[in-house]
Amino acid sequence: MQAATRAVTGITRRAAIIMAAFVFLAGCTTQTVMQSAVAPLPSEKYAAIVVDANSGRVLYEDKAREPRYPASLTKMMTLYMLFEAMDSGQLNVMTSIPVSAYAAGRPPSKLGLKKGGSIDVRSAILALCVRSANDVASAVGEYLGGTEERFAAMMTAKARSLGMRSTTFRNASGLPDAEQRTTAHDMAILAMSLRKRFPHYYHYFSNREFAYAGKIIRGHNDLLGRVAGVDGLKTGYIRASGFNLATSVGRGGRRIVAIVMGGKSAAVRNEHMEQLIEVYMPRASQASASR
């Protein structure tokens, strides 16, 4: 494969393996995918992919490169941008993010922020990961980009730099916008990039609840704590997309990332994701001790 010849000398073996995984994911075709043992969901909105996170090999895909609406999977990129800003020293977990009237007025799911108020970065991260709060997403976008529109352009540019060639963002939340499009394939790249680039922040995705303003805020990801090895990432829903889910799973040295889009309900989506996990996890490679 031509892309495989782009390996860069002078990097560690682990970095080389990770780079090769992403190159492979970006360049593979359905001809490399094992014969499916799981039936796709009967929905015109359906798309899915399962990737061996150790090797980058695609274990399953169905309509994974066809355009779909990301819904709140968008917030994975919002978080990527926020984590990057933290690592650059632009802000830290105690930084206060101001809340505009626009951000406060975003429709649910939301945290209920008020115009003129603020939210600390740590709470913002948890609100995005756990509650999928649209008001928080907009506040983060305005803080980092000046306007949410400019932030969306920054998100799209970042997507291109990661190899997400079929993704365009128009807002920070995933609220309906006809021009905000992605693919299951691109969402898998983003999910893998989050773990690779920000292992020190990745634990936020495994939270099922958090405390804020004297209340316990519970999340939407029912696979956490119920399906062995699941440690994140993100749920999503708008009417145009159906029910979406990005999932990372690790068991016994094996790790997969799976994306399901277009479920007719959260329960249907979750059941399908569980089937994909149980069928394809044993087919994933085991990480060696030297990686």
Q: Is residue 130 within 8 Å of residue 162, measured between CB atoms?
A: no
State how far the Cα of 161 lies from the Cα of 142, in Å rounded to an integer. 22
For the chain, the average pLDDT equals 89
22: left (phi over 0), alpha (psi -120 to 50) or beta: alpha
Q: Please tell me the predicted confidence (pLDDT) of residue 281.
A: 95
Q: Could you tell me the domains of the chain?
A: 33-283 (3.40.710.10)
- pTM metric for this prediction: 0.87
70-88 pLDDT per residue, tens: 999 999 999 999 999 999 9
Q: What is the reported pLDDT for 220?
A: 87
Task: Identify the pLDDT of residue 287.
Answer: 82
7 has a pLDDT exceeding 70: no
Render pLDDT for 209-234 as a digit per residue (tens, 0 to 9): 999 999 999 998 999 999 999 999 99
pLDDT digits (tens, 9 = 90+) for 164-182: 999 999 999 999 999 999 9
- If residue 190 lies in a helix (H) or strand (E), which one and from where to where? helix 184-197
Dihedral of CA atoms 244, 260, 149, 26 in degrees, nearest 10, equals 170
Q: How far apart are CA 238 and CA 71, in angstroms?
A: 6
Q: Which of 186, 180, 106 is nearest to 142 (CA)?
A: 106
